[in-house]
A and B are shown apart, each in its own frame.
Chain A
Amino acid sequence: MSERPAMISFTVNGEKRAVEAPGMKRLLDVLREDLHLTGTKEGCGEGECGSCSVRMNGELVNSCLVPVLQAEGAEIETVEGLGRAEGLHPIQKAFLECGGAQCGICTPGMLMATAQLLAVNPHPTIGEIREGLAGNLCRCTGFKRIFDSVAAAVCDMDGTAKTGGAHAG
């Protein structure tokens, strides 16, 4: 049995997009295969690792667990919308400078989880940083440098070099 594809429209990184896809196709696959936005990665494919994290209507979601039909009309933000090589977002800059990325598979998800965290809580404690990123697994860095990166991004986005701010570790 093959279900007829549906036309599904949503906004990705501020641009209106329409795709023809089976309703149960994963948002992850639509982003990567139909829209060629390959910044979003697949890790486990079952909502455990967070590699495929994107923002949907201002909330963090695992795009591997979103059937694309449920993204109809949604505002989607992927890592491609965060910054560009010539104009990195402060979160990306902080990950670069603090060694928050190694192999890179988890990085887009880490960046999006950080963007979500700082959107709702611009001054997180270290505990809140750990909780905000708890659904994103990294097998390279041991997490400390990732938490350091988030703390550095907080300071940068604040525009003040705080000394008593968040410290990881």
Chain B
Amino acid sequence: MRGNCEAHELIAPGSLAGVLELLAGAPGEWTSIAGGTEIMVAHAAGRMREKKLVSLWGLDELRFIENSGDSIAIGAGTTFRDLRAHAGVAKGAPLLAKAATWIGSIANQSRATIGGNLVNGSPAADSSPALLVYEAEVELISVLGKRRIAYSEFHTGYKRNAMAANELMFAVHIPLRFAEHKQYLRKVGTRRAMAISKVALAGTALMEAGVVSEIRLAAASLAPFPARLYATEAALFGRTLSEAAIREARETLMEEAKPIDDIRSTADYRRQVAANLLGEFLHELLPVEARP
């Protein structure tokens, strides 16, 4: 059944302070809508229950990209078009710049925001694996002030997050300490473009004389929310990388992953593809002469 536009109230206070006051005055009553690429689809399908919506679109206070030298701050209202077009993001967070090119079509990228992508909390969210392997932080804001938490602690369950009812996402902070790391991100969907992930895997790693001295791995669609793969990281950390080590890491990943069967893929396929992606990344870390 198609949604009825008259059954929903949408207001635009026009300033961040105005939105925060509204949320503080009636916590839990208002749902924020940024570019609408998720909410308007639910609305069209007649499956949007939220009656009261507050618009974040056009709030300049949420749309910025700032480089502070040791990190990049990205306003939650920054669109994926903004991210794609920004030289500092391409240089400092290339995996995020890459993910931004995958998010739907140009028309979707013009409207979809990084804050919307994270708050929506899809297990398949395109920007999440990159943010996880960069150890990004998210900054939340309410009338009481701002607070920062690790992005890896933001999602608390399927479509659940650590934000209080009076809070909005304000910004994402990406540390710039990964320039020397090998970086990897690959998404596997039904088609090369314009398709939601069946599975996506990201990694950052530092090698010292063939030994894995740092490694961070994260995936989309292997759990109820995008998450780091800590057990697989632990299986690799401090080890001399070899075919045997790669084999063992793949096995650990197959155990650690908790994918589901759904409309887009099967748990078995996702587990297998994730292991293949991990293998691809780890082979890139091997010295050239040791590659198969």
Which A residues form the contact surface with B (CB < 8 A)? 1-3, 22-26, 29, 45-47, 50, 53, 56, 59-62, 64-67, 69-70, 72, 113, 116-117, 131-132, 134-136
Q: Is the CB of A47 within 8 A of B104?
A: yes
Q: Complex Cα distance A70/B106, Å? A: 19
Q: Is the CB of B11 within 8 A of A113?
A: no
Contact with A along B1-12 (1 / 0, CB 8 A): 010011111111
Quote the shortest CB–CB distance from A72 to chain B (angstroms). 7
**CB neighbors of A among B94-129 (8 A):** 104-108, 110-111
Q: Complex Cα distance A115/B32, Å? A: 31
Q: Complex Cα distance A47/B9, Å? A: 22
Quote the shortest CB–CB distance from A127 to chain B (angstroms). 11
Closest residue of A by beta carbon distance from B8: A24
Q: Complex Cα distance A23/B9, Å? A: 7
Inter-chain contacts of B37 with A (CB < 8 A): 47, 65
Quote the shortest CB–CB distance from A89 to chain B (angstroms). 19
Inter-chain contacts of A113 with B (CB < 8 A): 106-107
User: Out of A45, A66, A116, A131, which one reaches B36, CB within 8 Å?
Assistant: A66
Closest residue of A by beta carbon distance from B48: A24
Which B residues form the contact surface with A (CB < 8 A)? 2, 5-12, 33, 35-37, 40-41, 43-45, 51, 53, 55, 57-58, 81, 104-108, 110-111, 193-194
Inter-chain contacts of A69 with B (CB < 8 A): 10-12, 55
Q: Is the CB of B107 within 8 A of A67?
A: no
Q: Is the CB of A72 within 8 A of B12?
A: yes
Q: Is the CB of A47 within 8 A of B41?
A: yes
Most chain A C-beta atoms within 10 Å of own C-beta, residue among B7, B36, B58:
B36
Closest residue of A by beta carbon distance from B43: A24
> Contacts A23-B9, A134-B193, A135-B194 known; A59 to B41 CB distance under 8 Å?
no
Q: Is the CB of B55 within 8 A of A131?
A: no
Quote the shortest CB–CB distance from B47 to chain A (angstroms). 11
Q: Complex Cα distance A26/B48, Å? A: 15
Closest residue of B by beta carbon distance from A56: B110
Q: Is the CB of B45 within 8 A of A1?
A: no
Q: Complex Cα distance A65/B40, Å? A: 5
User: Out of B10, B51, B107, which one reaches A23, CB within 8 Å?
Assistant: B10
Inter-chain contacts of B57 with A (CB < 8 A): 70
> Contacts A23-B9, A67-B40 known; A135 to B108 CB distance under 8 Å?
yes
What are 18 of the A-B contact pairs (CB < 8 Å)? A2-B7, A3-B7, A23-B10, A24-B5, A24-B43, A26-B40, A29-B5, A46-B44, A50-B105, A56-B110, A64-B40, A65-B35, A67-B36, A67-B53, A67-B55, A69-B11, A69-B12, A135-B106
User: Out of B2, B7, B10, B108, which one reaches A67, CB within 8 Å?
Assistant: B10
> Contacts A26-B40, A47-B40, A116-B106 known; A70 to B12 CB distance under 8 Å?
yes
Inter-chain contacts of A70 with B (CB < 8 A): 12, 36, 55, 57-58
